[in-house]
Amino acid sequence: MKILDVHNFSVKFKLDKSAYFTAVKGISFCINQGEILGLIGESGSGKSVASQCITRLIDEAILGGEVFFYDKDDPLDLLKIDKNSLRAVRKRLVAYIFQEPMTALNPLITCGRQILECAEVPSKDYLNELLQKVELTDIERVAGSYPHELSGGQRQRIMIAMALAKKPKLLIADEPTTALDIAVQSEILTLLRKLSKTEKMGILFITHDLLSLHGFADQIAVMYQGSLVEQGNAATILNTPIHPYTKALIESRATYKKRGSILAEIDDLLQIKDGQLHFNRLPKRTLTPDKKSEDSLLRIDSVEKSHFKTLLFRKEETKVLHNINFELNNGDIIGLIGESGSGKSTIAKLILKIWKTTRGTIELYGENINDVSHFSSKIQLVFQDPFSSLNPKHRIGNALLEVLETLDKKQVDLSTIGSLKNKVVSLLEEVGLQASDFDKYPHEFSGGQRQRICIAKALAKNPKIIVLDEAVSALDVSVQAKVLNLLNELKRKKGLTYLLISHDMNVVSYFCNKIIVLRQGRIIEMGDTEQLIRRPKEDYTKTLLEYSIN
């Protein structure tokens, strides 16, 4: 039985008196009861705009075509019904789940109360039933917790429970698993698939990772530049794609099998011949081998970290890191991988002196890290979200100038670079941007370009070590390939050493020469990438590989 039937649906935005921008170009698809449709595409492809405009959430959008929603009676055309009828459909029959639950949940209200606010007949029994449906068994604790007291996976389950509270016929999930660890991501996808069948609920699942839909979606629709270029059975799309863009999406993805080679980028894989788009398979391009070195740049020795809370007259200790030991040698790329709460980011904060160790020592260039002078010129950090790392009021050229102006005169020789502005332009060009980008603001760049700016900021002080904290996790597959290629090129040119924090085993196994697996604050396995991937010892590592490597 049909739930949603979309015909020749288009979305336009008015730019000025006579000009329009078409974001969605006459797409058509259908979702049946208990069926999952995966809508795949890169940023700017129109997938999120389409999902929001289906229920007319964007007021200024100019909509065309037909969107039939099937309830008990005759189908309703959501583009033509009056506002009261549309409001009733949104309230009872359609639910949304967004990518980041922390921005969607109220930080001042307990999770249990927020779930019940969505229910037509709120009761404790119904709350218990909803939490059990989303497999949150510690009901009392979860219901009484505030969002910040739960993990990312638990918060996403709370969002799903809120969506289920009104018993919707259609669930629209916009990138709900992108920021989650691979194991948690798999759990959420399994849960959504189970709920789709048991609740007879249709799901429109939006993502930029085509292969994450394997074993989850029933149908897949691929969007490219506002158009649906390919759709059909999930297995067929994943195994034997027809459209050049779909082939390019799969080909550009970082995997263990592509280790040691330059990733193919979508722009290079697609060619226009005689007005038609064609897939151009590229020959394998091998990365230049690195010179091996045993020179230790960073040494973590028996490090432990605890948080302390004072309760009445006693101090309570919560240990988050247990006896961490590893070395980062010159030219290494070490990958720290593990689930949320495993201690990955804690290690990064200790290395960067944001937090102090409770026990143990960290040595940088043979010195205790607390005694190192000019610390920022030796080690730098690139965050996951480039937009929040940049001041939206500052031109990016000025942002880079600020970094250079903090340099000691001994660290930067102006006579060799001409001026600080020339140095900034040189940095921009080094990361693949242009001199003309100097006067632009962060919002004028794409996500991948903003990440390049953050990499340029990290390079400004000419460090030897760069910590990459989930630096490619939120990027589209094609943009991810470009940034990984850039990082490999900069490593070769500048002799950089990287510490990559990630939850994506595919990226880690492609990019890193050594892998450290963390769980519950302990290193459970570490070693060379080839050895660890081919012969993992721990069950948890095997589980990560089972979810990821393909």
Return all residues near 288 (Cβ < 8 A) that are at least 6 apart. Answer: 492
In a structure prediction context, what are the per-residue pLDDT tens digits for the chain, which is 550 residues long? 899 999 999 999 988 888 889 999 999 999 999 999 999 988 888 998 999 999 999 888 999 999 999 987 788 999 999 999 999 999 889 999 887 777 788 999 999 999 999 888 888 999 998 998 888 888 898 999 998 888 777 888 898 899 888 889 999 998 887 767 777 778 888 888 998 998 899 999 998 877 778 889 999 999 999 999 999 999 999 899 999 999 998 899 898 999 999 999 888 899 888 888 999 988 888 888 777 677 899 999 999 999 887 777 788 888 889 999 999 999 999 999 987 778 888 899 999 998 999 999 999 998 999 888 888 889 999 987 777 788 889 999 998 988 887 765 545 554 444 478 888 999 999 898 899 999 999 888 877 788 889 999 999 888 999 999 888 877 888 888 989 999 999 999 899 999 999 888 889 999 999 999 999 899 999 999 999 999 999 998 988 888 665 5
Asked whether the CA dihedral 147, 153, 156, 158 is positive or negative, the reply is: negative
Asked whether residue 49 falls in the same domain as residue 145, the answer is: no
Q: Is residue 290 part of a domain?
A: no
Asked whether residue 25 falls in the same domain as residue 142, the answer is: no
Domain boundary, last residue among 139, 167, 195: 167
Burial (Cβ within 10 Å: 0-12, 13-18, ≥19) of residue 465: buried
Q: Is residue 471 part of a domain?
A: no
Q: How many CA atoms lie within 13 A of 181 on its CB side?
A: 21
Q: Is residue 184 part of a domain?
A: yes
Asked whether residue 195 falls in the same domain as residue 221, the answer is: yes
User: What's the domain count of the chain?
Assistant: 2
Q: How far apart are the first and last CA of the chain?
A: 35
Q: Is residue 53 part of a domain?
A: yes
Domain boundary, last residue among 208, 242, 276: 242
User: Domain range for residue 117?
Assistant: 101-167
Helix ranges (H only) for 334-474 are 344-351, 386-389, 396-405, 414-417, 420-430, 447-459
Residue 89 is part of a domain; what is its CATH number? 3.40.50.300
Nearest partner of 352 among 332, 378, 331, 385, judged by Cα: 378
Helix ranges (H only) for 21-151 are 47-53, 83-92, 101-104, 111-117, 124-133, 139-143
Asked whether residue 163 falls in the same domain as residue 85, the answer is: no
Written as six digits, the tokens of 196 are: 């789709």
* pLDDT value at residue 59: 84
* pLDDT value at residue 203: 94
* pLDDT value at residue 10: 96
**C-alpha distances in angstroms, 377 versus 229, 311, 410, 451?**
48, 41, 12, 20
* pLDDT value at residue 16: 82
Strand-pair partners of 231: 221
Asked whether residue 3 falls in the same domain as residue 138, the answer is: no
* pLDDT value at residue 416: 45
Q: Is residue 193 part of a domain?
A: yes
Nearest partner of 204 among 237, 229, 168, judged by Cα: 168
Helix ranges (H only) for 240-303 are 244-251, 266-269
Q: Is residue 216 part of a domain?
A: yes
* pLDDT value at residue 446: 76
Q: State the DSSP H helix or E strand holding residue 486, giving kind and residue range, or none if neither.
A: helix 477-494
Asked whether residue 190 falls in the same domain as residue 162, the answer is: no
CA distance 118 to 102: 17
Asked whether residue 218 falls in the same domain as residue 84, the answer is: yes
Asked whether residue 51 falls in the same domain as residue 138, the answer is: no
Nearest partner of 481 among 453, 507, 454, judged by Cα: 507
SS3 15: coil
Q: Is residue 156 part of a domain?
A: yes
Domain boundary, last residue among 242, 259, 284: 242
Asked whether residue 73 falls in the same domain as residue 13, the answer is: yes
CA distance 96 to 113: 18
* Rg of the chain over all Cα atoms, to the nearest angstrom: 25
